[in-house]
């Protein structure tokens, strides 16, 4: 199967080929024909499965130059908004289309000007509502409405913004929704705003033979020392260390630096420009370890990850799947290692039962035999022991 078989416009096919994209993924192969037919589609697929092209390629075929804003894509974060807009611009480079990226934390005026000359707007819900209230954005000619990472938007409390935006769109429009799960709130949107919905679902987890998942059961005060030991022991290439809180991200990053381990960090309280700078450094190989909050678990264009470490677990069991889905992509193997302390046991058991995944327990003997200098403090909290 290739994109020509899906009867995609030659200009888009050419742009995809120039980006090295020749064959559609499973979610693309199943979704694109339905979206081209004008169906309302709910797509459920794991992180890294190619959802952006699944809705982006047929979206580009539906808009007409110089006819106003005809397509709106909502995404939960500034990074994902930027990424989607960037991908759409690459795939439409042989078409005469304008694409505006709209998100908070930056000036409104340049965005207003970009919207005025665009046929496609990609934005976060809050900033889209802001532009609507200022009458900078007219959605009366909208043909296609896309919710990307819809489940994440619900988690982040955007459901009222989404309904506010939908209230000013034409009744006769196509609506496409992509996510990893369908919550009650998303089911409500589907029933209220979508017509004759077609559901497309593909494999939600990475193939078992490509992704190996492990955990260590470790005391909380020894967790950081174990992390450093594993970073030095494992044959790592590019690594993401996930933490559930911003403060933990900052502490782990700071103490890795004290151990002479170069790493970057991203979390939701950082400035947009700084977060994009760190991600760019990571993708270019200037840093090979990234300490991140959940903001990096969804949607971001971060490739070739050899290892994912869960320094601690999020309350949402599905978040585990998104985190480990950062590795073992595009046919490459990967490893996910969770550092499990006592307070994580119930949550981890729920994750395993809900997702029916296989995770192997690893012994701590090698770690326990290491020689430590007693009394070294992990700055910001509990006592840690530095190993030689």
Given this model, what pLDDT does residue 357 score?
75
Question: Is this structure's pTM higher than 0.85?
Answer: no
Domains and CATH numbers, the chain: 10-201 (3.40.50.300), 211-387 (3.40.50.300)
Measure the CA–CA gap between 318 and 312, rounded to whole angstroms.
Answer: 14
Given this model, what pLDDT does residue 204 score?
57
Given this model, what pLDDT does residue 203 score?
63
> For every one of its 388 residues, what pLDDT tens digit does the chain have, with 9 covering 90 and above?
789 999 999 999 999 999 989 899 889 999 999 999 999 999 987 666 788 999 999 999 999 999 999 999 999 988 889 989 999 999 999 999 999 999 998 899 999 999 999 999 999 999 999 999 999 999 999 999 999 988 888 877 899 999 999 999 999 999 999 987 766 777 888 889 999 999 998 865 555 567 889 999 999 999 999 999 999 888 888 899 999 899 999 999 999 999 999 999 998 788 777 887 898 899 888 999 999 987 665 656 677 889 999 999 887 777 787 788 778 666 677 899 999 998 888 888 888 877 677 888 888 876 665 534 333 333 433 333 332 2
Given this model, what pLDDT does residue 237 score?
85
């Amino acid at each position: 199967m290739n994109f020509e078989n899906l009867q995609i416009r030659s200009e888009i096919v050419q742009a995809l080929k120039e980006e090295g994209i020749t064959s559609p993924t499973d979610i693309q192969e199943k979704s694109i024909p339905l979206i081209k037919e004008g169906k309302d589609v709910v797509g459920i697929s794991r992180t890294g499965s190619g959802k952006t092209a699944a809705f982006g390629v047929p979206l580009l075929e539906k808009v007409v130059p110089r006819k106003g804003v005809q397509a709106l894509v909502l995404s939960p974060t500034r990074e994902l908004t930027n990424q989607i807009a960037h991908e759409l611009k690459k795939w439409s480079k042989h078409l005469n289309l304008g694409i505006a990226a709209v998100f908070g934390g930056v000036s409104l005026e340049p965005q207003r000007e970009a919207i005025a000359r665009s046929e496609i707007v990609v934005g976060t819900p809050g900033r889209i509502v802001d532009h609507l209230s200022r009458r900078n954005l007219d959605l009366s000619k909208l043909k296609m409405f896309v919710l990307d990472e819809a489940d994440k938007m619900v988690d982040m409390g955007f459901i009222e913004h989404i309904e506010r935006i939908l209230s000013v769109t034409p009744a006769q429009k196509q609506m496409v929704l992509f996510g990893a799960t369908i919550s009650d709130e998303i089911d409500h949107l589907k029933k209220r705003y979508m017509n004759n919905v077609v559901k497309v679902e593909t494999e939600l987890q990475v193939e078992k033979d490509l992704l190996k998942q492990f955990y260590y059961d470790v005391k909380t005060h020894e967790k950081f020392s174990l992390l450093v030991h594993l970073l030095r022991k494992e044959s790592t290439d590019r690594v993401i260390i996930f933490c559930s809180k911003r403060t933990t991200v900052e502490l782990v990053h700071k103490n890795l630096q004290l151990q002479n381990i170069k790493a970057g960090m991203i979390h939701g309280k950082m400035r947009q420009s700084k977060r994009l700078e760190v991600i760019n450094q990571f993708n270019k190989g200037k840093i090979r370890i990234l300490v991140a909050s959940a903001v990096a678990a969804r949607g971001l264009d971060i490739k070739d990850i050899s290892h994912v470490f869960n320094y601690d677990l999020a309350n949402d069991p599905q978040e585990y799947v998104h985190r480990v889905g950062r590795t073992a992509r595009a046919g490459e193997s990967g490893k996910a290692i969770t550092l499990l302390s006592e307070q994580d046991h119930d949550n981890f058991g729920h994750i395993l039962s809900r997702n029916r995944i296989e995770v192997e327990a690893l012994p701590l003997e090698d770690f326990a035999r290491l020689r430590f200098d007693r009394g070294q403090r992990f700055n910001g909290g509990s006592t840690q022991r530095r190993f030689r």
